[in-house]
Structure 1
Amino acid sequence: MEINIVLEELQKQNKTVYKNVFDRFYKELVIYANNFLFDQQASEDVVQDVFISLWENAQTIDIKTSLKAYLFAMVRNRCLNYLKSIKITDDLNLIDLNSMIILDEDLDLISEEEKSIVYNHILKVIDTFPVSMQEVFKLKFIENFSYNEIADELNISVNTVKTQLQRAKTKISQSLVVILALFSIRP
């Protein structure tokens, strides 16, 4: 369904379209939220709040990219607000890395072929990491371990975990800047 038609129907309070949007994105959004919060119930609550907001504010919503990107951005922002409310900060900006790796939200404007190129590029960069950094990275972003769980699993300090993830983020970010810039230069 075209985004304009979906938005128009949501603005008309079309319950069938709303239910279709809910059914299409709910599980994926909860999984995404849980990558920030590591709390299933809180993740479900955040996503439900997003859908309530979508219903209540449909008249004023202005989506520039896609409904999917909009919903994921809403969930991300609410997760960050939730984390702030419980006094958890992300000094290393690892949440941004998490969303970049887990979700192609910022990549909605590039083709599937280009997304595949970016994904394969990230995998190649990860392969260049030292073994210890690869272990930390995979436990965090593939196994969804918390910092403490990674530290316990690898018998290292939480600060070492954070340092390894920061270094990984820097390496990935530096390599992605070049490849994403190439996509934006095309005619």
Structure 2
Amino acid sequence: MSIYIENIIADIKRGNKNAFKKLFDDYYPILCVFAAHYIKDKEICKDIVQDALLAYWEHREEFDDILKVKNFLYTVTRNKCLNHLKHEQIDISHLAAQEDSEEGFEAAIIEQETFRMVRKAVEELPTQMRNIILLSMKGLKNHEIADKLQIAEGTVHTLKKIAYRKLRESLKGINYILFLFLCK
């Protein structure tokens, strides 16, 4: 696990609000997507995720490593979503089938963690490459990206190749990280 991440957790434990903001900024969008698996209203998802992150802040002294923090955040988010659905008297039997076991819950967490790591790697690309990759992820072809960014199609092709190489390099340890996450 990265020393950087462990330092953030230690800093948060000591009450460092800037470190918490970094973690908040990293996990807020991913937890919102995770909450949307349960609740379709995006505003309610945002409120639930803010509550989950606030709950972590309030209990920060109890956490020494990122794996426990992640488990806490996902579990609290899921439970708050389920409580909201129960309170609204929404039938959640379809969710019970989806989460027949903890495997369904873990699969959803793995999916979100993978998405978070890929998103972070894309954000770290130089601006032009990042824009090309994001447009490519939206399904645009090279010539459409070139038109949109007002650059040559050959430039799009070259920058995309370089970007994919950089992404492969930065994500090469993702299997190992996910393995560690599963072995928590």
Please report the TM-score for the alignment, with normalisation by the length of structure 1.
0.48
